[in-house]
Homo-oligomer: A and B are copies of this chain.
């Protein structure tokens, strides 16, 4: 961390900053410059971060040098993290194609979707039993009944299931059924929830908040990793911008950026990003070649009857063709669908 003093900062102010650094066991390396004096703070990152340096008199600004995350960083963990669940792998040379409806609506709907996903070659099943909805008047999910249906689908298809946890009080219930616990966009900075799933032994998929920076996403992962759970997957799902021709703006650059900064696998959800069915294919292929480790795509046996996200779901009939193309591009990049 570098502390840039104001041009008119005096000796007393400089000394004061150094003393505060020393008070937490750190050191302040003073570099007088032609225009301004800079103090390099050296010591324990957390200790230094606890000081309100930018509130001290004479201080102009604070320039961080090191990343604020540690466990999520590729510097401290150069090898790709590979997530393993029920024999399916995600990360490294293993690409995961996760398919299924936005929400579990009924046993019939979900089992049909699950069979079609398996037949077309999906790696895992997705589906929501607890649904975060902008409106309190929209369908809120089937709760544990939905989880039971998902478990039945896993039983029949052999595919692991990915499902969202929204409330720390539901951790135990969700653990009974889910192979991968999803933390949704709106909960990316629900720090209690992140800490809770950090304490369990189950892979956690964190979706990027719709206005979260890449750094904030990595800090969310850090919350989980810090509690001891090292099986974390990140998911880009579009960010909020001024553009209205898509529901969100898929931040395709986030894939290579995160892969460089972190060892954690990165998935992409093209359905939520675009909000439109006909964009799923191009955005999926783009994500694969940009380096994504997997796709989370909404499919539905009959999108027109869907209780949510019908317009951004791929009809199961089209999914077979889509999955074939996904495999072709994944193989082009030297990997295979797990």
Contacts and interface: CB of A to CB of B under 8 A. Distances in A.
A243 B256 contact: no
Nearest to A253: B246
A271 interface: no
A97 to B, nearest CB: 16
Given A137-B49, A243-B251, A304-B52, A282 B278 contact: no
A55 B219 contact: no
Most central of A55, A245, A250 by chain B CB within 10 Å? A55
Interface string A238-282: 011111111001111111110010000000000001100111001
A295 B103 CA distance: 39
B249 A251 contact: yes
A132 to B, nearest CB: 6
Contacts of A46: 137-138
A307 interface: yes
Contacts of A240: 211, 242
Category for how many chain A residues contact B: 35 or more
A168 interface: yes
A284 to B, nearest CB: 9
Contacts of A215: 245
Contacts of A283: 252-253, 256, 290
Nearest to A220: B134
A136 interface: yes
B278 A256 contact: yes
A82 interface: no
A42 B42 CA distance: 23
B278 A213 contact: no
A241 B238 CA distance: 12
Contacts of A216: 134
Interface in A91-116: none
A163 B145 CA distance: 36
Interface string A189-227: 111100100000000000001110111100100110010
Interface of A: 2, 4, 7, 29, 31, 33-36, 38, 40, 42, 45-46, 49-50, 52, 54-57, 63, 65-66, 68-69, 75, 132-140, 166-169, 186-187, 189-192, 195, 209-211, 213-216, 219, 222-223, 226, 239-246, 249-257, 260, 273-274, 277-279, 282-283, 285-291, 303-311, 313, 329, 332
19 contacts: A33-B65, A36-B65, A38-B38, A49-B137, A52-B307, A132-B189, A136-B226, A137-B226, A166-B190, A187-B190, A211-B240, A214-B243, A239-B241, A241-B242, A241-B249, A250-B253, A282-B289, A285-B290, A286-B286
Minimum-distance CB pairs A-B, first 9: A52-B310, A211-B211, A55-B310, A286-B286, A186-B189, A54-B311, A285-B289, A286-B290, A252-B252
Given A286-B287, A289-B289, 8 more contacts: A38-B65, A57-B304, A136-B219, A213-B242, A214-B243, A253-B282, A283-B290, A286-B286
